[in-house]
Structure 1
Amino acid sequence: MAAALALGGVAHLGLGHQLRQKRIEAQWCSKAYLDRSEVLRFSGSGKVFLRCHEVAAFRLPGDCGVRISGKRLVRTIARASAGASGAVANGSTDSKELAILWFKHDLRLDDHPGVAAASAFKQVLPVYVFDPNVCAGWSKELLESLFDAIADLRKELRLLGSNLVVLNGRTADVLTPLAQKIGATCIIAEEEVESSWKRTVDSVLESLEESEPSSSTTGLAFEQWCASLYETRDMESIPDSYKDYLRLGLRTLAPLPPATSLPQMPKDVDAGALPEYGDFVASVDAIRGENQWWETLRAAQEQPGESLLPQAASPASAPSSAQYSPFKGVLKWRDEYILESPDASLLKKQGYYDAEEEVVGEYFIKGGATGASNVLDGYLRFLEPTNRDDYKAVYEHIWEMEKKPGASFRKLFGSALALGTISRRRVMFEALQYEKDRNGGRLSPFGYSTFTVGAAVGDVKAMEWFDILQKKSEMQASQKGFNVGAWRWRGYHIQYASMGNEGPAVLLVHGFGAFWDHFRDNLRGLAEKGYRVFALTLIGFGRSEKPNVTYTELLWAELVRDFIVEVVQEPVVLAGNSIGGFTTTIVSGLWPSLVSSLVLLNTAGKVIPDYKGLTYKKPRESSPIANPVSKLLLFYLQTSSDKLLTRCYPKQPSRVDKWLLNEVKRGSFDPGNTKVLESIFLLRAPLPLNFFLDRYDGNVLAIQGKHDPLQKNARRPEMLQALCTNVSVKYLDAGHCPHDEFPDEVNTFIDEFVKRGPESSKRDRSISPDMANATDDDPATAAEIVEEEIKLITEDLKS
């Protein structure tokens, strides 16, 4: 297992050949951490193989450090800023002959510490790998943007007298042979946070170790860089709370200037051609097709949730901006400049071809790094009058995106940030510089003068924070035996955990205000019973990102669906608590092929015997009470949430331990913390539970804590059982969170339920008269549950 080790300086690399010749195992079971002197002493000798997985905890890297992956030492080079002098890997004694500069999702030359590090070498070979394994799961629009960004990066490198070598295939299979062929002494790449990219990097490291001849006397170094917003300390000293993190007052790092030159490329290296877009998409599909479940998974993912629900007749919509003649010129400029690569734009303007493209779906900036920089300039100046047609094209989209105030930046620049065609540091620098220019060279203490600056700065700061939080989470969870991963969903950071390597897949989905850790003892307990267990933190909660979007049960359901398709990659036993239970019910009803069986734990959602004529209703656009009530609830969570939590654990209040309380409070300080609360008050009454269960043929187990202070209808599971032929019920002497209050009992219920088989609960529909006429008027929807929480909060405040 790879582990991060802290060093105050840069250690010697390329020791694979020595480690292979003579291994002296250093077992550090009793060590709290490995300090700098110890690591330097042993790694400098080249005679020790550290079994890092047995160390209880590690001091994580600050500005630079190394980690051990297999038998290869991997250095994290210093985070550089514009004020740094010399090479990024300053002070190293490594060979500086030939470096491979491996581009992944950092497709730019501006603010690129890897380019700065490569400048210290005699020769540099820039490389990008079109790896279908990496791009599986990417949208069509993002793949198109990738090709555009690679073309722009290659053009910029050629202007510097270099080029971009394009490889095709599994990264480890093509990058390692290239490194051997040209005699590279170092590979330089960005440090990763996302789990899929980490696996790709680890596969390259493993390939390098396997291919390195035992007679080698130099070894190939692997250096990783990170363009942090702030001059970070060692990760261990950074607090988990965003509020406390801001109090550190870390120095902001300026972006590095664009590269003006690069060392020469090695001779006789074929740069290769970009693959044909259609051929590459076919290779991605072929990789996915190796999974026996792929056709099932793809069919489910291609079905938007809203299209599967009964819709109310909607009034005729107002004409779009495209139908108004004043916008025709704007749309033309959008097609010709903003949404096209620079070369294609020039050809159009010179009249070589005049075909126009229609823009559909999400907004994706074309033109790679060049296009992203242009659009950022226009975005920041949104409130200024302008005669520039390219700015006007940007402005049209901002109007559309600002229907939800402050949401435009992430929507507009999501693909650019995902591909790294623009850096967070560049965004923050340009935004703050523009603000200073508007205010006589200084920043106002009362906030930003334009919403575009506020949105840009706020979003990149939030992205940085959740990346930091992910690194801390991995360290903390590994000490408890959990494997914590990061997954990008629609560009947003989603955290999850997993345990177990074989057996049926189980996916656990938490309730309102919780996180994957709420299944702490279910992950371990079910893994020990022979399951491959995943627990997901929904967007807007826990240590997942909290973006400025409209949160609905359908949004969370599509998140769960995509997680099954892209991460688990096979049908799952799906279990959910409270709002998570209602979310999993939606998944089961809309995409039943993804769910082998369903477990509901004190689920939210109503039961309505006769739901004919009911339709899906979109959330309201605004509510006068959403913001003030959300702030009240947030204040309570930050100060007195222990009282509410204890009420949810009436039989085992000791389970509400210090860790659980601290984690609930921690999340309430994250950037974007009010957005999900505000969205709850915009939701309309959802379709009932039995609507979705009637569309699901699998087995359903409803586990109900009988003393739930938030959901007071004790007959709801019985109503489900009476109305749905596939539901069985188990009661527990527990509260709102039976899975955490009595984890062993719930784990046993789930295990027995799954092993009984898919048909064990099937029976003929038999509805007693009292059930046929029963009503479910007690709190059950997301908004009603929150309202019940507010009532309990009010009682607490009065007492």
Structure 2
Amino acid sequence: MIALYRTALFIGSGFIAFGNNKVCAFVSPLAGVNPIVNNIQRFSNDFGRKESSLRSINADDEISTFSKNDKEVFDRNKSRLVWLTGWADMRTHDHDGFLEAVAAAANTDDELVVPVFVIDPTMHLRSQSPSSLRRLHASLLSLEKDLMSISSSLLAPLVVRTGAASSVLPTLADEINASTCHVIADDVISTRRNVQRSTCNALIAMDVEVIRWDTSLRPSAPWTSIGENGIRKGNIPSFFPDYCAIADSLSIEEPKKHFFRGLVEDDNPMITAAAYPSEGIPSLEKLIKMAESETPDAVLKARSSRPTISTTEPYDDLVTRWSTEASARKALKEYVSVGKDEFADTHFIASDAANVGSAFIKFRPSQSMYASAMARVQKNNKPSDVFALREAPTRAFTPALSLGSISAREVVGAARNKSPVTPPQFFWEKKNRDNTNNRAQLFPSDDPFLGRSSEGSLSDVVEWREWFHLLAERSLELQEIGESGTSGGEKSMSGDPREQGTIHYWRWKEQHLVRYITWPAGKDYMEDNEEDRSPAMLLVHGFAASAEQWERLVHSLRKQGVDSAGKDKTPPIFAVDLLGFGHSEKPGLSYTQYLWESQIIDFSMEVMEAQPMVLVGNSIGGGLSAGAASSLGNDICRGVILCNTAGVLEDPSTYSGYDGGNYSGPGKSSIMTYTEAAMKGNPNEAPYSPVPIFGNNVLDLFGKVIIKTIYPQIEKRLSLIYGNRLENADPAVTYAIQQSAVGPGSDNVVGSGQKLSINRPLNEVLFSDNKDDGFPILVVVGLDDRVSSPAVAKTRAELFSRLKSEKVNVKIIEDGGHCPHDEVPEKVASIMLEWLPTSHKQVEDQEAKLKKTQFMEEEIMSS
């Protein structure tokens, strides 16, 4: 029997709650006193007395008769915490934490399950976007309501508190005499992983048992046990096809039922466990203000002052409505019933793509180039005709899967067993497996020749997320035992030396895993005043490459960055994997340049927190860096370094700005710049047209053919690209590219090139900021470029040199190729280090000139 001091009795809308040796009452006028008193009398014998009236029940009253037995009672009555983190655990169905806690409490006398959510500034607030906060808020409100609907003496209502989880949770555990805490396994996101570990360690230190649970699809997989190298994930193969060879033969654990079924049958629904002190869920407006108070001023200023920094994703309002358990499960039921095409055409309407025209929501983020680019793709088309093969289920369910409003096992179970089964197109695609829990015969290795079924698309969303999460866990665990966690680190290295950094993960839009690597600032970096320090660097790779390709350049920068006095003032360096490359996820979205630019902008805001930086990009990474720099502005981006960059570059002698577009029909918009056109979805350009006859299903096939053609030639092509420094085209470079190329989703990334929007010319984006018209720009050109050709490299170098010469510094490397930063890293590093101080001086001069102009304007206005 649950002890009285921890029991709240709900009658009508009133209750009496006993907790922490205090008793408080709120009695509805509709609730009779006698039934409450009678129920209290029924449970008061545990304490050797009977409550006969409510006269002494006040919020501040102590129950004096507990004084002799308090410690005895307190020691006897234990609690089990279920810590909800906001990552993969915000639900009541298929929740191992709740199931294990309730089962244990039901088999133990005087034990209570207390769910708790700690709004931790680091995990949930700092630098978070309003969209992410909206989804978290909706999920939290829904979960609280669902828990309140369960009347049980075993389960307390949700406790919500704010503060550092590592101190708040131990304090709560002490208050309620918690013996155990059930919490999901460590996330791979650096900030959350650190908070989870420090909190669990604090609980263990006070003798609270911590029980971890996870959401893995295949608990019997060999990578769930400790491998020869001493780590749990060490048995995960490095390549996705090898992983599939094992995973295909393993059963996926069926989703578990609602934990309410685990409550004891004779549990009295009229006796409801105590509501422990809770701060309650703040309003959305208050939550956003709380986040703003934890966010650096530079981030807030940038978000409020520059419209181009907005990275609102397409369908933001729509998918936010599917962030709760009830709405996500309802959407899942509809999807498996009608199929992905009808589901997409019903919900993903054009106005939602651009986030305009839908019902007014107070906290809706502003329009963005990312959202507008998708609106352009969808204009005059049905979503089912232009979406990527897996785009509808990816956009619909990824936010809820990330929060945990719906479980991965439930989604893949619905795909396998609740959808109409689509027969294979070709006889060789049929797979005969003896698996009663897979009616649709879906497997991770599925690679259909053309198209993808509704149920297969849904299953792929979960299977692909599982693979990239396991790959991230593997990398982090290897790193923690002192081994290399990169792909290239598994192979022999030759040529110029590398410096491996620290691997981290970040979840873009709180949905998609992104790997990034960091190198700390030099030991003497902080000696200078903030305005005298070199800005941080953000390195953005080219097509098919990854953050690992910058390791040689970083080594040279850090080696050459030590001055003659032995001072190392090298700035902090970040390198990020673009979505679809490296170890970042490859979700089934429509990829455009504005998706990637948005990723770079969000990384700058959420991870680097708007600290001054220089953007460095190679190939397409150069074009993306230039676009992101233009959006970020001079306050954040202090310069741009372009290494054999991609991007449209017009002849400066004939370039005259935005040309008005090629559309001449009715309703042509009056637009002044390419950036304005991009923000509006390029209305003056011809809309996107799906591939005739075959439709967009053929885009994945196109990507597949390209990859299968090039894959056997990767080593040979790298030898050609690195022709002047063959030693640097070592097995490590080859291996990293090969691993990424066969990752799930690669076909779609390549095929999405068909959907790219009109490019903003480099002529505009490099000189669009209002501070003296542009950024300091360093252009490094390897003339022996065997990707675009030496002739093209020479022509582009000449065009760059004719751009505003006071801003642009062009450096030519005769024996450098398409990736000069990795082929001749020492030369590129030397050029960069020579340029950095002068670029810094240019920015300072610009800022002084701007301040002087503002002062003069103020003087004129005042006179």
Tell me the TM-score normalized by structure 1: 0.70
* Residue 703 (structure 1) aligns with: 780
Structure 1 match to 2:505: 486
2:638 is aligned with 1:556: no
CA distance 1:473–1:292, change in 2 (3 Å): same
Q: Cα 1:716–1:111, aligned 2, differ >3 Å: closer, same or farther? A: same
Aligned to 1:467: 469
Cα offset, 1:665, TM superposition: 1.3
Q: Tell me the equivalent position of 1:443.
A: 440
Aligned in 2, Cα 1:156/1:403: closer, same or farther, shift over 3 Å?
A: same
Quote the offset at 1:296 in angstroms.
2.8
Partners in 1 of 2:413 and 2:174 — Cα distance?
40
CA distance in 1, matches of 2:158, 2:758: 54
Aligned residues of 1:149 and 1:366 also touching (Cα < 8 A): no
Distance 1:239 1:222 in 2: 30
| Match for residue 822 of structure 2 among 712, 716, 740 | 740
Task: Choose from 171, 174, 188 the match for 2:168.
Answer: 174
2:79 equivalent among 88, 98, 111: 98
CA distance in 1, matches of 2:637, 2:289: 28
Question: Is the Cα contact below 8 Å between 2:203 and 2:210 reproduced in 1?
Answer: no
Q: Which residue of 2 aligns with 1:130?
A: 119
**Aligned: 1:510 with 2:553:** no
Separation (CA, whole Å) in 1 of partners of 2:501 and 2:845 = 39
Q: Give deviations 1:455-501, integer Å, cap 9, x for gaps.
A: 21011111111101111222455524532111111322211111105
Equivalent residue in structure 2 for 1:647, among 720, 723, 731: 720
**Identity of matched residues, %:** 25
- What amino acid maps onto 1:559 in structure 2? Q
> 1:582 — aligned with what?
623
C-alpha deviation, 1:300, in angstroms: 4.0
SS at 1:363 equivalent: helix
SS at match of 2:418: helix
TM-score scaled by length of structure 2: 0.65
1:220 to 208, 212, 221: 208
| Structure 1 pair 385–403 and aligned structure 2 pair: CA distance change class (3 A) | closer
Residues 144-543 of structure 1: pairs in structure 2 closer than 5 A: 144-158=134-148, 159-161=150-152, 162=155, 163-191=157-185, 192-205=187-200, 212=205, 219-231=207-219, 232-234=221-223, 235-248=233-246, 249-260=249-260, 261=262, 269-288=276-295, 290-292=296-298, 294-296=300-302, 298-300=304-306, 303-304=309-310, 361-366=317-322, 368-383=324-339, 400=383, 403-404=386-387, 405-435=389-419, 442-443=439-440, 451-476=453-478, 479-480=483-484, 481-490=500-509, 491-501=511-521, 503=525, 504-526=535-557, 529=561, 530-543=570-583
SS at match of 1:540: coil
Q: Report the CA distance shift for 1:435/1:510 in structure 2 as closer, same or farther (over 3 A).
A: same
Counterpart of 2:301, as a letter, is E
Alpha-carbon offset, residue 247 of structure 1: 0.4
CA offsets 1:594-630 (integer angstroms, 9 cap, x no match): 3111111111123212332335557834346855543
Once the 2 structures are TM-superposed, how far is the Cα of residue 267 of structure 1 from its aligned partner?
5.3
Q: 1:760 to 1:561 in 2, by over 3 A?
A: same
Cα contact 2:707–2:741 (8 A) shared by 1: yes
Q: Does 1:107 align with 2:90?
A: yes
Bigger drift between 450-459 and 246-255 goes to 450-459
- Which amino acid is 2:476 matched to? E
Shift of 1:242: 0.8
Q: Kindly state the Cα deviation for residue 99 of structure 1 after the two structures are TM-superposed.
A: 2.5
Cα separation, 1, equivalents of 2:384 and 2:521: 43
- The structural deviation recorded for 1:185 is 2.7
Change (3 A) 1:437 1:627: closer
1:373 aligns to what SS in structure 2?
helix
Cα distance, 1:254–1:588 mapped onto 2, change above 3 Å: same
Q: 2:643 touches 2:819 (CA, 8 Å); kept in 1?
A: yes
Distance 1:559-1:509 versus aligned 2 partners, 3 A rule: same
SS of equivalent to 2:743 = coil
* C-alpha spacing 1:498/1:395, structure 2 compared with 1 (3 Å): closer
CA, structure 1 residues 640+458, in 2 after alignment: closer, same or farther (shift >3 Å)?
same
Q: Deviations over 1:150-206 (max 9, x none)?
A: 232223323152211111233234222112222323322112122232132134246
Q: 1:385 to 1:719 in 2, by over 3 A?
A: closer
Are the aligned partners of 2:390 and 2:461 in contact in 1 as well (CA < 8 Å)?
no
Equivalent pair of 2:518/2:574 in contact (CA under 8 Å):
yes
After superposition, residues 16-165 of structure 1 pair within 5 angstroms as 97-105=78-86, 106-119=89-102, 120-121=104-105, 122-133=111-122, 134-158=124-148, 159-161=150-152, 162=155, 163-165=157-159
The 1:677/1:501 distance shift into structure 2, 3 A limit, reads same
Structure 1 counterpart SS, 2:829? helix
Indicate how the Cα distance of structure 1 residues 278 and 623 shifts in structure 2: closer, same or farther if over 3 A, else same.
same
Farther off after superposition, 712-721 or 754-763 = 754-763
For the residue of structure 2 that corresponds to 1:251, the secondary structure is coil
CA displacement 1:629-665 (0-9 Å, x = unmatched):
4333201332111111111111111111112112211
Is the Cα contact below 8 Å between 1:699 and 1:762 reproduced in 2? no
Counterpart of 1:670 in structure 2: which amino acid? G
Q: Does the Cα contact within 8 Å between 2:537 and 2:616 map onto a contact in 1?
A: yes
- Structure 1 residues not aligned, in runs of 5+: 1-94, 308-358, 765-799
2:795 and 2:542 mapped to 1: Cα distance? 20
What corresponds to 2:832 in structure 1?
Answer: 750
On the 8 A contact 2:128/2:606 being kept in 1, the answer is: no
Asked if 1:636 corresponds to 2:709, the answer is yes
CA distance in 2, matches of 1:748, 1:262: 68
- Do the aligned partners of residues 635 and 366 (structure 1) sit closer, same or farther apart at CA in structure 2, a change above 3 Å counting? closer
Secondary structure of the structure 2 residue equivalent to 1:740: helix
- 2-structure distance, mates of 1:550, 1:437: 26
Look up the SS of the partner of 1:497 in the other structure: strand
- Asked if structure 2 preserves the Cα contact closer than 8 Å seen for 1:483 and 1:498, the reply is yes
* Contact 2:639–2:839, Cα closer than 8 Å, also in 1: no
Q: What is the Cα deviation at residue 704 of structure 1?
A: 1.3
What displacement does 1:442 show?
3.6
Structure 1 counterpart of 2:404, which letter?
G
What amino acid does structure 2 have at the position aligned with 1:459?
A: V
Determine the C-alpha separation between the residues in 2 that align with 1:433 and 1:372: 18
8 Å CA contact retained: 1:564, 1:571: no
Counterpart in the other structure of 1:769: none
Preserved CA contact (<8 Å) 2:641 2:780 = yes
Quote the Cα distance in structure 1 between the aligned partners of 2:167 and 2:612.
30
Amino acid at match of 1:585: A
Residue in 2 that maps onto 1:320 = none
Aligned residues: 608
Q: Letter of the 2:641 partner, please give it.
A: V
Question: 1:324-354 CA distances to partner (integer Å, 9 max, x unpaired)?
Answer: xxxxxxxxxxxxxxxxxxxxxxxxxxxxxxx
Q: 1:96 to 1:561 in 2, by over 3 A?
A: farther
User: What are the ranges of 5 or more consecutive residues in structure 2 without an aligned counterpart?
Assistant: 1-75, 106-110, 224-232, 354-381, 424-435, 485-499, 526-534, 562-569, 662-673, 675-681, 693-697, 847-863
Q: Which residue of 2 aligns with 1:665?
A: 738
Partners of 1:689 and 1:449 in 2: how far apart? 36
Distance 2:142 2:709 in 1: 50
Q: CA deviation at 1:96?
A: 11
Q: Distance in 2 between matches of 1:367 and 1:707?
A: 51
**Greater Cα shift, 567-576 or 515-524:** 515-524
Shift of 1:427: 0.3
- 8 Å CA contact retained: 1:435, 1:449: no
**Shift, 1:385, TM fit:** 13
Mapped to 2, the partners of 1:763 and 1:101 lie a distance apart of: 56
Contact 1:378 1:391 in 2 (8 A): no
